[in-house]
Chains A and B, each alone.
Chain A
């Protein structure tokens, strides 16, 4: 059910039917997010103001 899928795309398959294409950019954000948390902690420790942006 993802007619726009191309060869080499990763798709999510449920009971024999593809239901979503895995988005690489979004997939990377999980790792950026944890990195940001780490950087925030460093900032926090150095006493600077911080704000979470996601």
Chain B
């Protein structure tokens, strides 16, 4: 077993689809939290194959998409300092800031470098002692341990020219914010498998309890997603709300303790503004005071920026599951991956990019 091809098996996929068709007796709206799941659903044509009663809405689990304009502007301001090498994951580069993106800043001479791991940025700092290396630490709970580890590593190796611009977000507070919205129509959630790999499942029990909403921790391959949807539908049809784990081959009930310890060592929970959604209390991580010399905001004395979001972008409604990308008047016209109005059209986890790339611009997917 290689744990990958089997989960893309056509026969099993069809089996789940058939089983679903038999179970669905009324319309249900299910939100998948993670942008990786959104892309898999669209890329594999699952949205087209689901029984008509099931509507999938796409959640806020795209870290690039929810990074507010003010933090992108902070990153650009840092990148434009002559002593700075700003390291970032690739899909952050084309996200528009107030006046330009990181990619445009790079074209104007800023030293912006794409890395695949924060540990590469620490390495870069070690080999460039005369420069200031800043890692743009974007991510959900899944990415936080690696980012924390980079700070611990820099601290242990006495690398003083490394710091991070933290832009971390947390899933459960966002789910609560979505469920508290009076317009929300979500009947069940597919929780993000890789977030739960780190955090475990306990923090979702209170949400199931409070909102009586089924939550199924789900993986990312077609068979995973269909099994997750099937398990959610079975609960809905029976009228029960439970926390279940479809992705047990990777997610353990108590998560990864070592990874959580790394997070706890470096980060404190903080309030966070989500692009398109607004401020959600206790929904992010900021660098702890003990590690303040690795906090780029303090190190470079960044002032808090107040900026206005682009009103033409409806990313907030999309990430709360209230609208689909096709319902945006600018989708595919004023807003394309090459010229995005907002982050969901840019990121490899953004819902608009998924529809643009894979759904063939078809209205029927609605």
Contact = CB atoms under 8 A, between A and B. Distances in A.
A30 B224 contact: yes
Given A1-B262, A34-B227, A15 B19 contact: no
Nearest to B11: A34
Nearest to B226: A34
A37 B15 contact: yes
Interface residues of A, number: 26
Contacts, number: 87
Dominant secondary structure of chain B at its interface with chain A: helix
A29 B248 contact: yes
B142 A16 contact: no
A34 B15 contact: yes
Find the residue from B146, B149, B252 having the highest chain A CB count within 10 A: B146
Contact of B22 (A3, A17, A29, A41): A41
A12 B143 contact: no
B325 interface: no
B40 interface: no
B280 interface: no
A27 B117 contact: no
Interface in B235-252: 246, 248-252
Interface stretch (B1-9, B167-175, B352-360): B1-9
A24 interface: yes
B1 A27 contact: yes
B248 A16 contact: no
A15 B6 contact: no
A22 B249 contact: yes
Interface of B: 1-3, 6-7, 12, 15-16, 19, 22, 89, 116-120, 139, 142-143, 145-146, 149, 194, 197-198, 223-224, 227, 230, 234, 246, 248-252, 256, 258-259, 262
Interface of A: 1-3, 10, 12, 14-17, 19-20, 22-24, 26-31, 33-34, 37-38, 41, 52
13 contacts: A1-B256, A1-B259, A15-B146, A16-B116, A16-B120, A19-B194, A19-B256, A20-B197, A20-B251, A22-B250, A23-B248, A31-B12, A34-B19
